[in-house]
């Protein structure tokens, strides 16, 4: 997973997969616009949900190295049918076959048009996100030195989808979030650990991942979007510093 828009270490993951005979699939939901996203694994899945760097309101995109895999995905998204309406109209062949179990996962033309328009703006929006991320790093280093910055030394290009920080071990995150909300600053978390969610816990019980759990307990996602300005960053950091000091 390219968490936060930062690409994983390609060499490490490809070596890991190839040494074990595994397929490597990228969760690129955070990484639209990041150079190299979707090219590292055997396949990659992007999200264009409403809170992503570019959106079609819902839906997404799949990339794959194999043309056979792409063709299979195309059939899966359209009820498993061997041809779509457009192909049948062009070939003047009204019939088709269903060769596999499929679903209705097709992106409609209206959403595709929205996506194409957003795609043209994506480089500019990511540039703005990068500026804001740098402003966050400078302000947090000065005003919240006990807060750890995620990906501070990341070498790769990033889509800067979210700005995640790690609170001090003694911090009560719920209290911090509540105090920031009272100050008019929205925060969120990314994400509860999968193994703690009811569906998975009921199937694989007794799993304990101390590093994952400690990160998830202290992670806080600060606001980040292209309409913000540096003054907004300072306001958020001041609000976080105040919430931590009161705690």
Query: What is the tens place of the pLDDT at every residue in 159-180?
Result: 999 999 999 999 999 999 999 9
Q: Among 49, 77, 112, identify where a domain stops.
A: 112
User: How many folded domains does the chain comprise?
Assistant: 2
Flag whether pLDDT at 24 surpasses 80: yes
Structure tokens, 63: 């990339």
Q: DSSP secondary structure string, 171-186?
A: --HHHHHHHHHHTT--
Residue 58 has what pLDDT? 92
DSSP state of 53: S
Q: Has residue 152 got a pLDDT over 90? A: no
As a whole number of Å, the CA-based R_g of the chain is 21
Q: Which two tokens stand for residue 160?
A: 């800067």
What are the angstrom distances between the C-alpha of 13 and each of 2, 19, 22, 211, 222?
Answer: 12, 10, 10, 20, 29
Mean pLDDT of the chain: 94
Of 14, 11, 15, 9, give the one whose Cα is nearest residue 25: 14
What tokens does 136 get?
């966050």
- Active centre residues (catalytic): 52
Decide if 119 is inside a domain. no
Average pLDDT value for residue range 16-23? 97
**CA–CA distance, 226 with 20 (Å, rounded to integer):** 41
Q: Is residue 118 part of a domain?
A: no
Domain enclosing residue 130, as ranges: 124-246
From 112, 133, 168, give the residue that closes a domain: 112
Task: Write down the pTM of the prediction.
Answer: 0.90
Mean pLDDT for the stretch of residues 1-11:
94
Sheet holding 163-166, edge to edge: 148-149, 163-166, 219-222
- pLDDT bucket at 247, cuts 50 / 70 / 90: low
Do residues 25 and 69 share a domain? yes
Question: Are 20 and 72 found together in one domain?
Answer: yes
Question: What would the mean pLDDT of 146-151 be, rounded to a whole number?
Answer: 93
Mean of the pLDDT values across residues 199-210? 93
Which of residues 44, 78, 112 is at a domain's end? 112
């Amino acid at each position: 997973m390219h968490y936060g828009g930062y690409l994983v270490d390609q060499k490490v993951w490809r070596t890991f997969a190839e040494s074990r005979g595994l397929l490597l699939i990228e969760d690129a939901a955070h990484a639209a616009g990041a150079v190299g996203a979707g090219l590292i694994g055997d396949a990659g899945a992007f999200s264009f949900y409403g809170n992503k760097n570019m959106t079609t309101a819902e839906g997404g995109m799949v990339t794959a190295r194999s043309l056979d895999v792409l063709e299979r995905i195309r059939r899966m998204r359209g009820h498993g049918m061997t041809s779509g309406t457009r192909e049948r109209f062009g070939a003047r062949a009204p019939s088709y076959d269903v060769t596999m179990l499929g679903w209705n996962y097709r992106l409609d033309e209206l959403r595709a048009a929205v996506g194409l328009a957003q795609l043209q703006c994506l480089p500019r929006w990511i540039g703005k996100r990068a500026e804001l991320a740098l402003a966050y790093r400078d302000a947090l280093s000065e005003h919240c030195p006990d807060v750890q910055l995620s990906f501070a030394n990341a070498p790769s290009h990033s889509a800067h989808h979210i700005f995640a920080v790690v609170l001090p071990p003694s911090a009560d995150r719920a209290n911090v979030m509540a105090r920031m909300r009272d100050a008019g600053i929205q925060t969120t978390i990314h994400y509860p650990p999968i193994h703690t969610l009811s569906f998975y816990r009921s199937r694989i019980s007794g799993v304990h991942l101390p590093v994952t759990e400690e990160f998830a307990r202290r992670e806080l996602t600060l606001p980040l979007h292209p309409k913000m300005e540096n003054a907004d960053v300072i306001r958020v950091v001041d609000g976080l510093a105040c919430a931590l000091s009161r705690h």
